[in-house]
């Protein structure tokens, strides 16, 4: 199995990028030190996502950044992405694994301990937990008010694979998520909608790293 150690994880969505292209946002995030990029782009057809994915794959491959495709196992395979991220209503984790092979990274969105334990048992490499603070993004809005860092702690106690917190996460509130047991955080708007995606990525990474350092010392923010 693959065990990604991501601190910052960009989920792309051109509709919140203030008119900038997804490759432009991805390039800025890479310059800011992002660890992984998920090609999401809800609302686009498979052909458009494939063509965009080829551009993003070129950027991430050159930078050594992992590229994950949301939902679409076929697109992930077609663009030679590093893996796929599936939700509770998508193809099962085990099926995605069979289609992409043992070297692929397979992530799964969960919001409860039961879902997390099942995803781990089915072979997920990491979990996306959320929505942490609530979000307008439908595919991560498991709870419109957010499940909170407390749920991250519960799931972290129940599984042994990495956890990424998503949903309403910013540099200002990422610390409690990391201290609750998340390996890192995934964001859409915090980077994509930022005036300076590079600076936003750097701020997010700093917030997570600071929280992890405090955690190691047994301190709280």
The DSSP symbol for 62 reads H
The reply, when asked if residue 67 is annotated as ligand binding, is no
The reply, when asked if residue 173 is annotated as ligand binding, is no
CA–CA separation, 82 vs 36, rounded Å? Answer: 10
Residue of 7, 17, 40, 151 marked catalytic: 40
What's the number of CA atoms in the CB half-sphere (13 Å) around residue 180?
A: 23
CA–CA separation, 130 vs 114, rounded Å? Answer: 14
The reply, when asked if residue 89 is annotated as ligand binding, is no
Residue of 7, 17, 49, 109 marked catalytic: 109
User: With contact defined as beta carbons under 8 Å apart, do 79 and 50 qualify?
Assistant: yes
The reply, when asked if residue 98 is annotated as ligand binding, is no
Closest CA to 139 of 210, 59, 69, 40: 40
Is 138 catalytic? The answer is yes
The reply, when asked if residue 15 is annotated as ligand binding, is no
The reply, when asked if residue 150 is annotated as ligand binding, is no
The reply, when asked if residue 90 is annotated as ligand binding, is yes
Q: Which residues are annotated as a binding site for Mg(2+)?
A: 71, 90
Annotation: binding site: 38-42, 70-71, 90, 109, 135-138, 168, 188-189
> What positions carry a catalytic annotation?
40, 109, 138
């Amino acid at each position: 199995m693959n065990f990604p150690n991501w601190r910052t994880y960009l989920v792309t969505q051109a509709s919140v990028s203030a008119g900038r292209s997804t490759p432009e946002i991805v390039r800025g995030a890479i310059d800011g030190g992002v660890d992984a990029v998920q090609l999401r782009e809800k609302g686009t057809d498979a052909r458009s996502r494939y063509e965009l994915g080829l551009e993003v794959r070129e950027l991430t491959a050159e930078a050594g950044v992992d590229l994950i495709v949301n939902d679409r196992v076929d697109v992930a395979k077609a663009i030679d992405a590093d893996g796929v991220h599936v939700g509770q209503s998508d193809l099962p984790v085990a099926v995605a694994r069979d289609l992409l092979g043992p070297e692929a990274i397979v992530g799964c969105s969960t919001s409860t301990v039961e879902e997390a334990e099942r995803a781990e048992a089915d072979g997920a490499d990491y979990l996306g937990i959320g929505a942490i603070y609530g979000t307008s993004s439908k595919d991560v809005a498991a709870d419109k008010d957010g499940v909170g860092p407390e749920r991250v702690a519960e799931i972290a106690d129940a599984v042994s694979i990495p956890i990424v917190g998503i949903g309403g996460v910013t540099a200002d509130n990422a610390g409690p998520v990391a201290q609750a047991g998340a390996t890192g955080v995934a964001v859409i708007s915090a980077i994509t909608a930022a005036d300076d995606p590079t600076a936003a990525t750097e701020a997010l990474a700093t917030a997570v790293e600071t929280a992890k350092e405090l955690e190691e010392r047994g301190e709280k923010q």
